[in-house]
Structure 1
């Protein structure tokens, strides 16, 4: 891994594009953001597959929103450790809760704490928050293991 994981940061909700973006822009943002983790690049085919699997709604006029961008970032990270079936269940639960921004923030905080090897205290009372925090910790542990073995 080219940078230390402790320096890696996912973009905050407020720094993500507010205006809809096209597929090429989405791919560029996701791949640039995740490049330090040396994960396989996200492709147009992968994004189209996520739409077909109902991970998120179809883009409107070929334009993707901040919600789409967050979903692609999180799915790409979760794919390192979880099956697409499990990821789909989580995405649907989050989408149905209509709390995408808050859930993304929970994931981001837990992932960053995990990558910095800081304890993540699972204090959430709802099971969705707990699952998000456990998943982020799992991904962080996986990435840290890969870094240690490199």
Structure 2
């Protein structure tokens, strides 16, 4: 059964791996979850590049934690419309805030609402939330446009 774009859901935080996983498992997990979006597959080279660009910390014993998995998911989605430099600034701000779960949930909600053509409420009180919502909407609308034109 094929999932249409409008049915796509990001992995809920609670369903992300809680135990560390190796690179091959990370790639399989991310690529499987993002396949319905029709994005290019994530490769080992890409993940290593993200580490070198400090999108997230180096894996410990070659194993990736939940926060690193989230970073790969979000960077993969965002790089469809944003430069890695722009993404890096956003990722570093989120990482430094230590609110990774909260920010991932905000991103997932805004992305899914935009894909389902539901209005996304933009919070004016928190600039980071605004940025997350605008970025998620940008990519969602791009993917919807591409699917509609196909």
TM-score (norm 2): 0.97
Separation of aligned partners in 2, 1:134 and 1:100? 17
Q: CA deviation at 1:126?
A: 1.1
Partner of residue 23, structure 1: 23
Deviations 1:12-63 (A, max 9, x none): 0000010100000000000000111111000000000000000000000000
Partner of residue 7, structure 2: 7
Residues 124 and 24 (structure 1 numbering): CA distance in 2 closer, same or farther, change over 3 Å? farther
Separation of aligned partners in 1, 2:70 and 2:124? 21
- Give the aligned CA root-mean-square deviation in angstroms: 0.8
Separation of aligned partners in 2, 1:52 and 1:123? 33
Deviates more, 1:133-142 or 1:118-127: 118-127
Separation of aligned partners in 2, 1:87 and 1:43? 18
Unaligned runs of 5+ in 2: none
Kindly report structure 1 stretches of 4+ aligned residues shifted beyond 4 Å.
none
Partner of residue 96, structure 2: 96
Deviations 1:116-147 (A, max 9, x none): 00010102511111000000000110000001
Partner of residue 111, structure 1: 111
Partner of residue 129, structure 1: 129
Unaligned runs of 5+ in 1: none
SS at match of 2:87: helix
Partner of residue 83, structure 1: 83
